[in-house]
Amino acid sequence: MKRKFLFYLMSLIMLITSCDNVLDVEKLDFDVQVEKTTYKVGENILFKLQGEPRYINFFSGEVGNDYDYLNNSRYVKNNFFSFYFTLQYQYPTTEQQVEVFLLKDFDGDRSDYNVISNLGSDKKIDVTNRYPLVTARNGESGISNKPNLMDLVKPGDKFNIAIRYRKRAPNTAGATIWFSNLKLYYSNGVNSSETALSLKNDFLQYCACNENKIPTRSENRSYNTAPTQYIIMWPNTTATVNTANTAAGYTKYSVASEQDEYWVTKQYTVEDGFEIKDWSKPIKSYTDPKLTFYNYVYQNPGTYKVVFEAKNASAKGMKSLTKEVILTITE
């Protein structure tokens, strides 16, 4: 009986020892090699990997994927600023009728047509050609693109967005245009932020228009008792008595007249940037097969510290090892 007990006890000790050895963290052997240390933008870089770590993380050294900032957030300036919107044409004509402007440092009355119309090109910057949807002459509808407008402004600049609708004489008809979903967009190359603007809070109820246009013809329907989230821009449909101008020879709002109007947002400030956190890029997990090479391409010139982080882990702990490669990327 005593011998049996000793046998079972020794077996149990051997089993525990065996399990404990299995739980030990595997030895970590890892290295990285490249053929050269200078590459061109767009050129493929082949990293040759040696060893069999269970996990591998990659850091390119670019903003957002930089090992040196792994545990620290940092402030990165924006390099992209834009706004975009939804535009829908009904009864489209062959004539462009919408223009888009960026108003810089505008301190005038956004309900006054003459004030807006007389702004110089340094204050009223025409960005219409950057929005293909707006310049389309075939009645295209949809969400506009997001062109980078950072070349026109700098952080801290004050700006308004202005949408212009025109019906040219002597035409008696013009497109009905629905404008909605205006959003501001910023990016610093890693993260982006987007702000949806409110038609009711950011626009007036009625446009700033010339004397030929019925002032309440086009309207911001978010102000309605039963609101809808769009601004409708359309021309005069019938001649109406112009009570604001009773001069001889001008008693009606003409259907065929040159009609011009602006919709101007409230003022905003160009944002400087925002904080980001850098993250690793996992390229191998526990269940993946052995990784012997990794390809990467840089899109911008500069000097980059590339880091590969290899790890082995078990229930008893973890071992990690980093390998660095300094690369120069040229044009």
The tens digit of pLDDT for each residue in 232-246 reads 999 988 766 655 555
* Dihedral-angle region of residue 139 (phi above 0 means left; psi in -120 to 50 means alpha; beta otherwise): left
pLDDT digits (tens, 9 = 90+) for 150-192: 999 999 999 999 999 998 888 777 888 999 999 999 999 888 9
Cβ-proximal residues to 284 (8 Å cutoff; 6+ apart), any chain: 53, 54, 55, 56, 291
pLDDT digits (tens, 9 = 90+) for 21-37: 456 768 899 999 999 99
Superfamily of domain 25-70+284-330: Immunoglobulins (2.60.40.10)
> Structural domain boundaries of the chain?
25-70+284-330, 77-273
Residue 20 confidence (pLDDT): 47
Q: Is 14 helix (H, G, I), strand (E, B) or coil?
A: helix
For residues 113-148, one letter each, b for 16 or more C-beta atoms within 10 angstroms of the residue's C-beta and e for the rest, the string is bebbeebeeebbbebeebbebbebeeeeeeebebbe
Write down the pTM of the prediction: 0.74
Span between the terminal Cα atoms of the chain, in Å: 82
Residue whose pair of structure tokens reads 């821009």 in the numeric block: 233
Token pair listed for 48: 């040759």
pLDDT, the chain, mean: 88
